[in-house]
Amino acid sequence: MERGARMIDAISAGLFALLTPQALLFLSLGVVYGLVIGILPGLGGVVAMALLLPFTYGFETAATLALLLGAHIATIWGDSVTSILFSVPGSAKGLALCFDGYPMTKQGKAKRALAASATGALLGGIIGAVFLALCIPLIRPVILALGPSEYLMMALWGLTVIATFSEGSLMKGMTASVLGVLVAFIGTDVVTATPRFTFGNEFLLDGISFPVAMIGLFAVSEMMKMSIRGTPIIDRSLVTEDSTVWQGVCDACRHWWLVVRSSLLGLWIGVLPGVGASVAGLAAYAQAVQTSKTPERFGKGAVEGVIAPDATMGANEGGGLMPTLAFGIPGGESMAILLVAFIGLGIVPGPDMLTKNLDVVFSMVWIIVFANIAVTIIGLGITPWLARLPSLQANLMVPMVLSVCFVGAYATRGRIEDVVVAAVFGVVGYLMDKYRYSRANFVIGMVLAVMIERNLHISINLYGADFLLDRPIALAMLIFVVVTAALPFWRERRRKRAALQAGGTA
């Protein structure tokens, strides 16, 4: 009883701390700044937060957190925008949005896709925040129950999406993934300190930067294609933009059950410190395909394929706070930066946080909610303008987008060699598209490769080669992965058989 009252006190104290002019101003500044960074290629939320950090000393706790978290949350939707409009994911998080968002744009449904994605992220963020608040007492045991073997299973689940994107030839699709995995292995292997495929080159020791490879594979190659065709992404004489923002908002609300499932998945992935947000988007997409009654619509502009990843990533933010709060150890790079801010504010993160500083925790929950609302309002407001971009003439788009992409590739790590990497991947992406080796599969392989390798090695090293027998949760997850991966195939077979029988009886 007393605990409940304390909780309610903390919830309201957290809210009031945020309702100061300074905090609200900082929140809006953070959100606008995050949106811009998210839209720029190659730069993600970590950069956004790191650059803001020096400006946070000396302000109210709630204001500082509002600035940092607001910026971080806004980058997510910023990433989605470029994925949907140009099939150019700004970072690994936006990848899943290319699968259905871009086809929607090409079909003249850009407004609907953008609105659905923004609303999905909002609902996901709110559901994530509510569950975060409810689950606070459960955080520690949950985190302690999971480990490398379970992370491995999460990555394998992400891998099952490959079958979805195999463009008619499963062999070409799988070859693309194999290539992606091998590219991810370029550089110093973290497990064994072996330089792999570096040919003695100092630059390659650090590996191929993931955002740079994506800029090349998607953006540069699309611009190459556009310079050849000479027509814009959407030719307005053939396709008219006939969707509305309202349709997108309704879509996200109509698929509420998908939103809830995706949000819980995002929260779950956020809690696991070894699983990144890039996996979250892919796993959300896999989940949406596998639970859909009509999986054949995915990859061709199904609005569910836009809603699910955004809802998951919206909720993921709340989950990502958990390890930071419960143990004082950051769940990811962005949380590490938040940790620095905490220490600057004189707050020691850790179990104490959930007792002594509970109001700060709830301030953060409120910030997540408010930041998501702000992003969605701004997002829905600018959607009609954004939706016009894909119909810009090719001869204007090509030089501008190419220039920005190469600047972005360089800015990612400040290394000039990355410009060459972006160009090489641009050509590779162009050839892959031409000969129908799925670029999406390549990137999925690249994202998941290192995670699978790390966690496989750790699992074998800790529990032996038969580690699954030692880890019942991992085993259950593996069974789940196999079943959900097989489900669409089984449904398809049953549907065909039913159609055949129907044809036979007719």
| By CB under 8 A, residue 393 contacts other proteins | yes
32 belongs to the binding site for other proteins (CB under 8 A): yes
36 binds other proteins (CB under 8 A): yes
CB atoms within 10 A of CB 251: 21
Question: Which residue, 72 or 124, has its beta carbon nearer to other proteins?
Answer: 72
> Which CB, 195 or 384, lies closer to other proteins?
195
The helix or strand, by DSSP H or E, that contains position 194, with its residue range, turns out to be: none
34 counts as binding other proteins under rule CB under 8 A: no
- Site for other proteins, residues 111 to 130, rule: CB under 8 A: none
Written as one letter, the residue type at 188 is T
Interacting residue with other proteins among 15, 20, 135, 225 (CB under 8 A): 225
In 3D space, the residue among 118, 106, 124 whose CA is nearest the CA of residue 81 turns out to be 118
Does residue 362 touch other proteins according to CB under 8 A? no
- Using CB under 8 A, which of 458, 474, 478, 485 touches other proteins? 458
Q: Is 400 in the site for other proteins (CB under 8 A)?
A: yes
Segment interacting with other proteins, rule: CB under 8 A, options 110-118, 200-208, 249-257, 262-270: 200-208
For residue 212, the minimal CB distance to other proteins (Å) is: 13
Beta carbons within 10 angstroms of residue 73's beta carbon: 32
Number of residues counted as binding other proteins (CB under 8 A): 143
- The one among 134, 138, 256, 403 contacting other proteins by CB under 8 A: 403
Location of structure tokens 């394929």: 305
Collapse the DSSP code of 181 into the 3-class scheme (helix H, G, I; strand E, B; otherwise coil) and give the result: helix
Q: Please, what is the minimum distance in Å from the beta carbon of residue 379 to other proteins?
A: 18
Distance, CA of 269 to CA of 265 (rounded, Å): 6
Cα–Cα distance list, 228 to 113, 222, 224, 419, 468 (Å): 27, 10, 6, 22, 51
55 belongs to the binding site for other proteins (CB under 8 A): yes
Q: Check residue 296 for interaction with other proteins (CB under 8 A).
A: yes
- Quote the least distance from Cβ 1 to other proteins, whole Å: 26
Q: 416-455: which residues touch other proteins (CB under 8 A)?
A: 416, 419-420, 423, 426-427, 430-431, 433-436, 438, 440-441, 449, 452-455
* Binding residue for other proteins, selected from 1, 3, 5, 200, defined by CB under 8 A: 200
* Piece of 16-24, 40-48, 255-263, 308-316 that binds other proteins (CB under 8 A): 40-48
Measured from the CB atom, is 251 or 418 closer to other proteins?
418
Name the E strands within 18-57.
none
The CA-based diameter of the chain, rounded to the nearest angstrom, is 78
Under rule CB under 8 A, residue 475 binds other proteins? no
Closest CA to 337 of 353, 349, 354: 349
- Which of these segments, 73-81, 194-202, 367-375, 380-388, binds other proteins (CB under 8 A)? 194-202
When the beta carbons of 169 and 501 are compared against other proteins, the nearer one is 169
Where helices occur in 107-169 by DSSP H, the ranges are 110-135, 139-145, 148-159
Of 68, 94, 120, the C-alpha closest to 371 is: 68
CB of 57 to other proteins, least distance (A): 5
Residue carrying the six token digits 């892959």? 432
Which of the ranges 192-200, 250-258, 307-315, 381-389 carries the binding residues for other proteins, by CB under 8 A? 192-200
Identify the three-state secondary structure at position 298. Answer: coil
Residue 456 touching other proteins (CB under 8 A): yes
Q: Which of 266, 274, 309, 319 binds other proteins (CB under 8 A)?
A: 274
Separation CA 247–CA 241 (nearest Å):
13
Per DSSP, which regions of 167-311 are E strands?
Answer: 187-188, 195-196
Among 228, 469, 483, 486, binds other proteins (CB under 8 A): 228
Q: Which stretch binds other proteins (CB under 8 A): 11-19, 243-251, 280-288, 295-303?
A: 295-303
The single residue among 90, 124, 211, 330 that binds other proteins, judged by CB under 8 A, is 330
- What is the C-alpha to C-alpha distance for residues 113 and 303, in angstroms, rounded to an integer? 7
**193/502 with CB nearer other proteins:** 193
Stretch that binds other proteins, among 6-14, 152-160, 358-366, 489-497 (CB under 8 A): 489-497
Q: How far is the CB of 362 from other proteins (least distance, A)?
A: 20
Query: Does residue 94 interact with other proteins by CB under 8 A?
Result: no
Interface with other proteins in residues 335-354 (CB under 8 A): 335-337, 340, 343-344, 348-352
The type of residue at 403 is S
Across-strand partners of 195? 188
State which residue, 15 or 407, has the beta carbon closest to other proteins.
Answer: 407
In the list 395, 486, 494, 497, the residue contacting other proteins (rule: CB under 8 A) is 395
Give phi and psi for 461, each to the nearest 5.
-65, -40
CB of 414 to other proteins, least distance (A): 5
- C-beta closer to other proteins: residue 16 or 59: 59
Residue 202 sits at φ, ψ, to 5 deg, of -65, -40
φ/ψ of residue 355, rounded to 5: -115, -60
The answer for residues whose C-beta is within 8 angstroms of residue 33's C-beta and 6 or more apart is 48, 52, 71, 74
Looking at this protein, which amino acid is placed at residue 340? Answer: V
Q: Are 245 and 406 in contact (CB under 8 A)?
A: no
Contact in structure between 52 and 33 (CB atoms under 8 Å):
yes
Min dist CB 253 to other proteins, Å, is 25
Between CA 287 and CA 391 the distance in angstroms is 32
Cα angle at 305 between 41 and 269, to 5 degrees? 75
The span from the CA of 301 to the CA of 280, in Å, is: 20
Amino acid identity for residue 143 in this structure: I
